[in-house]
Amino acid sequence: MHFTERFKPRLLEMATSDIELSVRVAVIQVLAAIDTQSLLEEEEREKLCLLVFDEEVKVRKVVGSFVKRVWSENLEERSVLGRRGKGWKNMQERSKERIGLKTLAALLEKWGKVLSKLAGDAEESENGDDMLVNGQEENDSIDGRSRRVSRRKEVLALVGTDKKNRIALAVEALWDEVDLLRDWEEIIDMLLLDHSSGSNESQTQNGAKVNGKELTPPERDTVVDSWRLEEGEETILLEILVTSLRQTKADTGGGKKVCGYP
């Protein structure tokens, strides 16, 4: 326990920015194993999840199973809330699929925002490195610069691609881990729903009847709320759909995977 706590920061640094790809892959596997013992803090887990956007294919692939674990945990938490609605019993399977898509979109949006913020902070830090102070504050400035440089390397390892390709890279990393990504028909069905809050239309489109039995408004409200998409999540799910279709076509044609690229 003491060894793990002492070296976690260094391991995370190696996972994100070591110059040797093989070292990064090995360290990610070590951190994933540490997490199975619940020894990683949420902030540390999030930092590891950001690697799903990494430029290196091997890094994205090796972190895929870890990201799936995080997704599954969030899915279960969200599903618990969904089960409180009466409509859950009749629509359990489809509800779980749609909550899974909602959860994935929400996580990717969250991680994307964190990554963008880190990139912005790194740029500000770099611009400030040319400013030196005299006297007693000089050492503090040097130490601060050292930490900023280290942090910048860590961030730049993650932001080598533009934002438009991030979701495609994440889908590629999770393609063999999350079966829902292959269900493009379900993704389309979900996108066709009206996700505006409190919309009666969305409740009707979502299926006012199950096995010939009409659901009461409270039941429809509860079920829809558990998977209702925010605007940013809808955009991400649309990007997931485009990448899923491209990946499915590549797999069906037996061609080389070109996820995220024309």
pLDDT tens, residue by residue, 52-78: 999 899 999 999 999 999 999 999 988
**In the chain, domain spans:** 2-252
**Residue 2, Cβ density class (10 Å: 0-12 exposed, 13-18 middle, ≥19 buried):** exposed
Percentage helix, strand, coil, to 5, in the chain? 75, 0, 25
**Residue-wise burial string across 68-91, b where 16 or more C-beta atoms lie within 10 A, e elsewhere:** bbbbeebbeebbeebeebebbebb
pLDDT tens, residue by residue, 109-125: 999 999 888 876 555 55
Split at pLDDT 50, 70, 90, the class of 172 is very high
Pick the more confident residue, 83 or 227: 227
pLDDT tens, residue by residue, 94-106: 778 899 999 999 9
Question: So what's the pLDDT on residue 148?
Answer: 46
Split at pLDDT 50, 70, 90, the class of 128 is low
pLDDT tens, residue by residue, 173-223: 999 999 999 999 999 999 988 777 654 443 444 444 444 444 444 344 344
pLDDT tens, residue by residue, 16-29: 999 999 999 999 99
The residues with which 248 forms a beta bridge, in sequence order, are none
Pick the more confident residue, 108 or 221: 108
Is 134's pLDDT higher than 50? no
